[in-house]
Amino acid sequence: MYRRWLWPGFAFPGILWLIVLFVVPFYAVVAVAFGTVDPILSRPVPIWNPLQWNVGWIVEVLHRLAPGGTFFGVAIRTLEYVGMSLALCLLIGYPVAYYIARHAGRLKGALLILIVLPLWISYLMRMLAWVNLLSPDGYVNRFLTFSHVLSQPRDWLGGRPSTVILALVYGYIPYLILPLFASLDRIDRSHLEAARDLGASPWSAFRHVTLPLSKTGILGGAVLITLPMFGDYYTPNIVSGSPSTSMIGNQIDLYFHQGPQPTIGAAITVLLAAFLTVLMAYYMWTIHRASREVGAAGAV
């Protein structure tokens, strides 16, 4: 009896904690999103019983998210910013991870530490650094006017999409490089030698061997940075602050911190979580399929 309950007993406090402070709170968001609003105090009234749920708020948010609705622009902008940032992160991150995994030699350890370092510097500190650099008389403007690229300083922090995307890339790229490095570092070099022995050019060896074998790293890293980027609100707030660059996270922040209707905020949160769950499920399915393909190839 005692042996049987020893290990579940160890897990119990942690599981209980996660149920009470992770699962139940998320259910509270769902209950508020499907709840009603007190007509006098205009406070949200959660409905805990799924059978009595009021879908009105979710339907309203969906309407606003549809073309022509007030959230449509924000939703498209969020997809654009996240998509652009992800593409840039991959374009910058892949060569870096590739070099460190394949060619860094003696410098591998040192480079790895330099790559990991930004992860341990507060995100806010790194954003603050760019706010300093990009301010009207900051180093960036002074360099650009000094070298006559710009005739006068540009207001980088006044609501420019390019600044927000730069900040997102800068903020999240270290989280992408590590899994990319891990997957590239695991590739057995004999596969590449075999490809080269069979007459593949360096480029086609890369395209047909390295790239497919690093697919799990690419996907894993992409998911790792896309999920938080979709929920980001502080980055656009810090480096732009303008409504013209606000993302879906900013809408949630607005409805909870400044707006009168947390219920709409909760409804957006539920829809965002549902969207990200679909994304996550797609990722798991791809990984599952990839591992099965590798298994099949191994069997042949």
Partner 1 sequence: MTVIADERRAAGFSAGNRLWGWLKNPWGRPRFLILFTWAYVLWSIVPVLIAVQFSFNATRSRTVWQGFSTRWYWGDPVDSVWHDPTLRHALVQSLKLASADVVIATPIGVLLALGLARWQGWGSRPSNFLMLFPLVTPEIVMGVSLLLIFTQVFTFIGTGTTAQILGHVTFSISYVVVIVRGRLFSIGRQYEEAAADLGASPMVALTRVLLPLLTPAIVASAAVVFAISIDDFVISQWLSSGGGTDTVPIRIYSATRAAPLPSVNAIATVMMIVTLLSVTFGFLAWRVFTRGERRASAAEDFGGFTI
Q: Which of residues 1-20 bind partner 1 (CB under 8 A)?
A: 3-4, 6-15, 17-19
Among 76, 116, 278, 294, binds partner 1 (CB under 8 A): 116
One DSSP character per residue, 134-200 reads HSTTSHHHHHHHHTTSSSS---TTTT-HHHHHHHHHHHHHHHHHHHHHHHHHHS-HHHHHHHHHTT-
Q: Which stretch binds partner 1 (CB under 8 A): 64-72, 80-88, 115-123, 286-294?
A: 115-123
Contact (Cβ atoms closer than 8 angstroms) between residue 196 and residue 116: no
- CB of residue 122 vs partner 1: minimum separation in angstroms? 4
Q: Is 70 exposed, middle or buried (0-12, 13-18, 19+ CB in 10 A)?
A: exposed
- Stretch in the footprint of partner 1 (CB under 8 A) among 64-72, 105-113, 143-151, 190-198: 105-113
Out of 56, 69, 118, 161, the only residue in the binding site for partner 1 (CB under 8 A) is: 118
CB nearer partner 1, residue 61 or residue 115: 115
Q: Binders of partner 1 among 143-172, rule CB under 8 A?
A: 170
Q: Give dist(CA 23, CA 204) in Å, integer.
A: 48
- Kindly state the smallest distance separating residue 83's Cβ from partner 1, in Å: 17
Interface with partner 1 in residues 202-241 (CB under 8 A) = 223-224, 227-228, 230-234, 237-238, 241
Write down the least CB distance from residue 207 to partner 1, Å: 14
Distance between CA atoms of residues 229 and 237, nearest Å: 13
Q: Which residues contact 166 (CB under 8 A, 6 or more apart)?
A: 130, 239
Site for partner 1 in 50-89 (CB under 8 A): none
Output 179 or 214, the one with its CB closest to partner 1: 179
**Shortest distance in whole angstroms from residue 287 CB to partner 1:** 13
Alpha carbon distance 244, 19 (integer Å)? 38
Please tell me the distance from the alpha carbon of residue 163 to that of residue 135, in angstroms, as a whole number.
Answer: 11
Binds partner 1 by CB under 8 A, chosen from 75, 86, 174, 214: 174
Name the one residue in this structure whose structure tokens are 């996270």. Answer: 249
| Angle, alpha carbons 116-108-171 (nearest 5°) | 25
By CB under 8 A, which span of 54-62, 63-71, 136-144, 187-195 interacts with partner 1?
A: 136-144
Q: Which of 59, 79, 278, 280 binds partner 1 (CB under 8 A)?
A: 280
In the chain, count H helices and then E strands: 15, 2
Beta strands in 2-75 (DSSP E): 36-37, 44-45
Exactly one of 41, 106, 122, 152 binds partner 1 (CB under 8 A); that residue is 122
| Binding of partner 1 by 130 (CB under 8 A) | yes
CA dist 116 and 288 (Å) reads 28
Among 37, 86, 90, 127, binds partner 1 (CB under 8 A): 127
**Minimum Å distance from CB 20 to partner 1?**
9
Write down the least CB distance from residue 51 to partner 1, Å: 20
State the minimum distance, in angstroms, from the CB of residue 26 to partner 1.
5
**Residue 167: which of 94, 248, 81, 244 has the closest Cα?**
81
